[in-house]
Amino acid sequence: MKTFAWTLVLVLLAIGDAIAQTAPEPIMLQHAPPMGFIVVRSNAPGCEPTCPEWISAQGHIEAGTPALLKALLKKLGHRKLPLVLNSQGGETEAAMALGHMIRAGGLDTMVAKTVFSECAPDAKACGLDDLHFGIANPYRRSLL
């Protein structure tokens, strides 16, 4: 009986060691660039002259992020564009400050990724103008 118990222990240890050696490496999330805010205009066929516009907010929320949104909202004046958010998270206090600004400004929000039609705003070949063209691609539950 003792031999059987020791054999069982050795087999279980061997199996545990084999499982530990074949376990996949943990997935490390890549650090996204800091959040930026860009005014985007839809270039869907047939929408001119009233194509929808929105503020695209993409990236990691950092301490300076609320100041960037505040500057853009000031630049927009009385225009109240919806905010399309795509973020993997970030600093809690900065995110709370963003939430307060969004609520105080009465902005509509949507969680989606802005897909730029011509070129991404951070691409070197892209112009430095204030308006970029694209679509808002909402996330679907099945993709999460």
* Domains, in order of start, for the chain: 36-143 (3.30.750)
Per-residue pLDDT of the chain (144 residues; tens, 9 = 90+): 667 666 655 555 566 666 656 556 655 556 778 999 989 888 888 888 888 999 999 999 999 999 999 999 999 999 999 999 999 899 999 999 999 999 999 999 999 888 877 666 666 555 445 566 676 766 654 444
In the structure encoding, which two tokens stand for residue 39, read together?
């005014």
User: 34 with 22: CB under 8 angstroms?
Assistant: no
pTM above 0.85, yes or no: no
Pairwise CA distance, residues 69 & 37, whole Å: 7
* Residue given tokens 């564009």 in the structure block: 81
Nearest to 114 by CA among 46, 62, 49, 37: 37
Residue positions counted in the chain = 144
For residue 76, how many other CB atoms are within 10 A of its CB?
A: 15
